[in-house]
Amino acid sequence: MSGLSRILRTLRRSTLQAIPTAICIIVLNFILLQMAPGDAVDVLAAESGAATLEGMAAMRERFGLNAPVIEQLSAYLNRLLHLDLGTSARFGVPIAELIAQRLPRTLLLMALALGMAAIIGVALGAVMSSFAGRLSDRVLSILSLLFYSIPNFWIGLMLIVLFSVKLGWLPSGGSGSIGMGLTGWAALVDQARYLVLPAASLALYYVAIYARLTRAAMLEVRAQDYVRTAQAKGLPPLVVNVHHILRNALIPITTMAGMHVGAMLGGAVVVETVFSLPGLGRLAFEAVLGRDIQVLLGILLLSSFFVIVMNALVDLLHTFLDPKIGVH
Amino acid sequence: MDVNPTAILDVRNLTVSFKVQGGHATAVNRLSFSIPAGRTMALVGESGCGKSTTALSVLRLLPRNANLKGQILFGGQNLATLPLNALRKVRGHEIGMIFQEPMTSLNPVHRIGRQIAEAILYHEKTTAEAARARALELLRLVHLPDPERRLDVYPHQLSGGQRQRVMIAMAIAGNPKLLIADEPTTALDATVQAQILELIDELRRKLGMAILMITHDLGVVSRWADEVVVMHHGENLEHLKAADLFTEGRHPYTRGLIGASIRVSQDIHYRTRPLSEIRVSRDAEGNYEYALELPTRPKLPPIDSLAPPVLEVRNLVTSYDLAGTELRAVDDVSLIIRQGETLGLVGESGCGKSTLSKTIMRLVPATSGQLLFMGRDITRLEGRGLQSLRANMQMIFQDPFGSLNPRHTVGGILDIPLRLHGIADKAERRNRIAEVIEKVGLPAHSVLRYPHEFSGGQRQRIGIARALILRPSLVICDEPVSALDVSVQSQILNLLAQLKEQFQLSYLFISHDLAVVQYISDRVMVMQSGRFVEEGSYRDILRNPRHSYTRTLIAAAEGGRVAEAAA
């Protein structure tokens, strides 16, 4: 029972801490975007090629863009209170709807990439720390340095060249086969085939980060007294490595991993562009180009909540991993 | 080859060296000893003598850069060359091991029961239920209170003594023929220490184990071991019957260790007899030479009991707020320190002695009560007044490694307080630094060096110099020798006595070690759970202890049976 109460306490604390954070983020985002030059009307006017000053003024009036900043902010906050993200000036669709269309694919991409990165990264890191200073450690260190320093758009392009162009195994872009009328399991497999390359190119950088993190954390734990105790008990190296070293190293690893999840959203923008995946990242990119501030605000708000939720999850994971948390 | 038939462990010509930058450092040099079945063998020596390296060598738990030569014969096998697979069947099964730090030797994320059962499952291939039942049985065997519930707690929910019991339970899980105990009680309070040593001895008799005990404590050796090997720089200097250690020890280093260690039964005092100091040097061929030195006795005037007190503490209370409940760390404490007097304060961890010293130093605010320094109320002193008080009242800390800023030279460390207290003249500051460096017995060129270039004892001298540079009248010594080897401890205690003569100092000397407090103090106060339970002259406290807690402490310090003394 104490486990459940600890989890509930952690959740309550995280929620309470999230409220002021969220308010700060909203206000800050709003002010920052107001400072950027140009607005949606400028872009729409430029794209139409023939707009009068009067027509532009009328459009600004309609979108509420010529009101004082403070008024715009309070109107925005008021709408948020009613759970309304507003309407896109560019697409003419409610922003919530727009995001809801794009969100699942991006989430799936990130979950895949994160899962791949965590599993491969921790495994590589464990191998590196077990053979620290030897050949396999050196080779893997160089590899992880490579993955760490290569930009993911380039990795994406190279993966396309290899797996789509040369080998023809996987599609080079898009989100699903068109006109095949697939349903059920077949549709799922088809969609997954389109996500493999994007997820891999997004994951590689994080594989490198997690591998290095795991290596460092495990080497530190390896020097602890209780590892010597485990060895003195006559346990085989695998048990010592997994039960005693890795298990304790997971605590710092999850902390760092949680902090990197937010950055992954940024990486998703680039990867979605390279693989022409219609996801949240692409939407954000289009919103920036179109100066569609309302859409951008919606996406930023969502990403902030995403990071807050991830942090809460990491906290939760910590109460599970570290019995000392939640006692005091 | 003369194989000793009764020996359970036979170590022959053990040499351990570590690969270091630019060569090899030898930690153990051609060491030989053997342990008969069911007996206790002690390896005794100071830090760096190779005793722990020897203990770790037996199970080959040394770091990777270690190189091991010689033979370690156990049960017809040579552990020094045994393949790792076979060695793992010996580790934790035929030979158990316990370590110095019970706080860090248990895995913090696994439950106690699981940690004990783990080795049983691996070695005996039983079911999980059987291993758990055996773990419970082991916890009963080591007298852990409430064992059923304790199976499912985490290490941080146990005290140090309880954790060491769990460690012992783990080590004896396989009914080992040999138990290696590497400083098993060094990190524990005196009363707990005695209980743990008693437990180990009880288990030795019950299970018929032999014990290899690693310790720096001669008192522990003479009370609990059968035989003893005295070690220095990785060599066996002398092999004795433990009971004869104090009387038959012939080697000058052994004599030195005996002279330097203080026992409560000895009845020696700093005013009448300085402690002998060991001087170890190497001649041109690299051979070690050992000499004993007895410094001259400091000439100290008797304490004038009518003189006004340097420090007076009246009904002091210091409390912490612990999640809404008030925790009284210091609870209604009063004391007086007169000019030239050393007041000893003895108590175990958590008794409030460090909080008391911090409150007197005004590092922690007093909740209520009064502090009078030279007749002046300093309880609520602030600003300039507080700063000038700090010049008159200084502190020496326990940890000579953590309490000196590693980024400053020794000269810099000593210069800062002088500048802060308004000594603007550079030449004068330099003279005062040179003077205090000489007084604490450091070479003059130390001024330009950094703390990490010094040994523990030298660093403590730097700490003393830092405390004395402002010429205070009262120095609070908070466990100043607890982190030091006995031979260094005697040097520092002698130094404190000499400095007292030269600077007319008064000390508040805080320690958990009754023997040390008794030696260095004129008056002793015993502290327990935030209160003083007894006060008396250094003689009375030992000869006529009135409070049962004092009697327990004395019994523990004598290495006797605590349970009987407490009853």
Where does residue B130 rank: exposed (0-12), middle (13-18), buried (19+ CB within 10 A)?
A: middle
d(CA B108, CA B113): 13
Work out the pLDDT band at A181, boundaries 50, 70, 90: low
> Residue B256 in contact with residue B238, Cβ under 8 Å?
no
Chain A residue with minimal CA distance to B180?
Answer: A232
Complex-level ipTM beyond the 0.85 threshold: no
The percent of residues in chain A predicted with pLDDT above 70, rounded, is 95
- Chain A contact present for B99, CB below 8 A: yes
User: Taking CB atoms and an 8 Å limit, are A232 and B323 in contact across chains?
Assistant: no
How many other CB atoms are there within 10 angstroms of residue B197's CB atom? 23
For residue A322, give how far its alpha carbon lies from the nearest alpha carbon of chain B (Å).
Answer: 6
pLDDT at A50 over 80: no
Rg (chain A; Cα; Å): 24
User: Pick from A226, A243, A322: which is nearest to B105 by CB?
Assistant: A226
pLDDT tens digits for range A266-320 = 788 788 888 888 888 888 888 888 777 788 888 888 888 888 888 888 888 888 8
Question: What is the structure's pLDDT at B228?
Answer: 94
Q: Are strands B376-377 and B7-20 parallel, antiparallel or unpaired?
A: unpaired
* H-state helical runs in B421-455: 426-439
pLDDT tens digits for range A19-48 = 888 888 888 888 888 777 777 777 777 777
d(CA B259, CA B262): 8
d(CA A83, CA A71): 18
CB-CB neighbors (< 8 A) of B89 in chain A: 234
User: Taking CB atoms and an 8 Å limit, are A234 and B104 in contact across chains?
Assistant: no
Where does residue A239 rank: exposed (0-12), middle (13-18), buried (19+ CB within 10 A)?
A: middle
pLDDT at A241 over 80: yes
Distance of CA A205 to the CA centre of its chain: 13
pLDDT at A179 over 80: no
Question: What is the structure's pLDDT at A326?
Answer: 59
Output the six-digit token pair for B6: 């009764």
Considering the domain B313-558, what is its CATH architecture? 3-Layer(aba) Sandwich (3.40)
Question: What is the structure's pLDDT at B567?
Answer: 32
User: Pick from A231, A236, A322: which is nearest to B109 by CB?
Assistant: A322
Output the six-digit token pair for B480: 């100043």
Listed by start position, the domains of chain B span 313-558
User: Tokens 């053979």 appear where?
Assistant: A131
- Chain B contact present for A244, CB below 8 A: yes
Q: What is the DSSP letter of B296?
A: P
* Count, residues in chain A: 328
pLDDT tens digits for range B361-407 = 999 999 999 999 998 898 888 888 888 888 899 999 888 778 888 89
pLDDT at A1 over 50: no
Work out the pLDDT band at B1, boundaries 50, 70, 90: very low
Query: Which H, E and C letters describe A55-123, residue by residue?
Result: HHHHHHHHHCCCCCHHHHHHHHHHHHHCCCCCECCCCCCEHHHHHHHHHHHHHHHHHHHHHHHHHHHHH
pLDDT at B561 over 50: no
Question: What is the structure's pLDDT at B239?
Answer: 93
Q: Which of B176, B185, B180 is nearest to B219 (CA)?
A: B185
Output the six-digit token pair for A112: 């895949």
d(CA B77, CA B88): 13
| pTM score of the predicted model | 0.81
SS3 label, residue B34: strand
Q: Look at the alpha carbons of A143, A147, A149, A154 in this order and tell me if their dihedral is positive or negative.
A: positive
Q: What is the DSSP letter of A163?
A: I
Structural domains of chain A ordered from first start: 106-278 (1.10.3720.10)
Nearby residues of B382 by Cβ (< 8 Å), 6 or more positions away: none
User: Taking CB atoms and an 8 Å limit, are B118 and A235 in contact across chains?
Assistant: yes
Work out the pLDDT band at B181, boundaries 50, 70, 90: very high
To 10 degrees, the CA torsion angle through A49, A54, A57, A61? -120
SS3 label, residue B247: helix
The percent of residues in chain B predicted with pLDDT above 70, rounded, is 97
- Chain B contact present for A233, CB below 8 A: yes
User: Taking CB atoms and an 8 Å limit, are A228 and B59 in contact across chains?
Assistant: no
pLDDT tens digits for range A123-139 = 999 999 988 888 888 99
How confident is the model over B281-296, as a mean pLDDT? 83
Q: Which of A170, A209, A219, A204 is nearest to A190 (CA)?
A: A170
> Residue B203 in contact with residue B224, Cβ under 8 Å?
no
d(CA B168, CA B207): 13
User: Taking CB atoms and an 8 Å limit, are B90 and A235 in contact across chains?
Assistant: no
